Chains A and B, each alone.
Chain A
């Protein structure tokens, strides 16, 4: 939106001091993360380290107890009034979210709608696209994720990998400024992981700004501009993949990587 008026150096995502507790247990301990436009950042870490919660705090699916997420210059969940940030209505928040794509672990396609209907729903409702225009966009996106022949299929009839690719197309249809991926391949059968990773890889090379929470170390090493290792609700390590994977500075990172990589080797 106000993209052009912002200096080119402003980060696409700027989260500061994000804190969150569930039932008295501190899940996120004041996390700060800035992401440049066009960067792909992979967040890795053991289950329960708060990766997904952090991602969900960025677009306010989870309301953080402290801290603020600013995406593309907009304080998520707030509007600026003079020298205050005032909490937005559900409608105002929806308007901000329209520019942030999200892909879920369990796909969350709408089961009563076809792939095409899943994709055109938001562009029609929010961007006000007409039938022809939105259908054309759906067809183009389905082509891009390699499912041109599945436009009129219901989610139930698609494999997990296909459903996830439709979910990616659905998020892209809103032409988001940032894409958030919450463990996009964790619910997939092993042979379907690659078809989804290929699509995400393609987005990375097209220059999409992305945050990917993932357990796929090979993918992170290959695609990420930056890898963030989280443990116990904080960022432990943050750097280029080569550094994080081959010369981790922290004991905890080393332990985690050893465990994961031994497991990956055993699987081969």
Chain B
């Protein structure tokens, strides 16, 4: 017995308890604030940044127009790719070997060809096919249009970005579908739900919940990938900035303007992502971690 008496035990219970000093927190805070001040001061005092010029161009109509185009392109591409991505993921998981191979091939090609190369390729499509049409090779086409009139910088950009993004999203969706426990599908099957209903009401909502963080990441990457379209002379944010500094030589301040806008939009997207995650979590029905583990063991 370590305790000599019950009186000593009572003493122990009666002693006041003091919180352990969190020294590392304090040191960390001091270092972080010092670093932030140093960087801010550095940025403010470096003449090359030309903050007055940054301020003058930040809300310039041409810049705002560029921001708008970048945002719209991101949104349109994301919506199209999400729809196509689900379809490709479903094909990839199909029990038909031929369909699955088709989807695999699609994913392979469009993940393999670099974004930049693809954009140039689509933009120059007219060089390959001067006329675009529907028909069977060797017979006169049913419907035919001039490729140059259809493939504008905007359509080339949306086609290129969408195909690229679809290939990535297909794999993300597939991982989400696979993460839904098998028992969920079995329960739906046993109830007699049709495959379509099971997918739309049971599998898809649970898969989305699992992949929201990854999707958020993907939207942000896509926003920045849109800056690549500057190579095909589409006046997105980056291309607009390049046009302006090509005439006034204020390269650095204008790049800073572009960075600020990309950071603002990314910040807003992150907020949206947190809100969506929170909303899904509040509806309580997170697929329980325990269940997922049980399923993967069996």
Contacts and interface: CB of A to CB of B under 8 A. Distances in A.
Q: Do A and B bind each other?
A: yes
Interface string A157-197: 10000000001001100100000000000000000000000
A125 B193 contact: yes
B187 A110 contact: yes
Contact of B286 (A59, A90, A96, A111): A111
Interface in A24-68: 59, 61
Contact of B192 (A98, A108, A109, A112): A98
Contacts of A94: 189, 192-195
A123 B119 CA distance: 49
Interface stretch (B23-31, B35-43, B198-206): B198-206
A91 B190 contact: no
B285 A106 contact: no
A61 B190 contact: yes
B186 interface: yes
A57 to B, nearest CB: 13
Interface in B264-298: 283-288, 291, 294
Contacts of B184: 108, 110
Contacts of B201: 121, 125
A78 interface: no
Contact of B194 (A125, A155, A174): A125
A104 B283 CA distance: 24
A126 interface: yes
Interface residues of A, number: 33
Contacts of B194: 90-91, 94, 125
Given A106-B183, A106-B294, A112 B191 contact: no
B99 to A, nearest CB: 15
A122 B284 contact: no
Which secondary structure dominates chain B's binding surface? helix
B190 A112 contact: no
Contacts of B183: 104, 106, 108
A125 B206 CA distance: 19
B224 interface: no
B205 A171 contact: no
A61 B186 CA distance: 7
A102 interface: yes
Nearest to A60: B189
A97 B189 contact: yes
Contact of B190 (A90, A100, A109, A156): A100
B187 A156 contact: no
B228 to A, nearest CB: 37
B209 interface: yes
A170 B191 contact: yes
Interface of A: 59, 61, 90-91, 94-102, 104, 106, 108-113, 121-122, 125-126, 154-157, 167, 170-171, 174
13 contacts: A94-B195, A97-B192, A102-B187, A108-B184, A108-B187, A111-B206, A111-B285, A112-B209, A121-B193, A122-B193, A125-B197, A154-B284, A157-B284
In order of increasing CB-CB distance, the 3 nearest A-B pairs are A98-B192, A112-B285, A108-B187
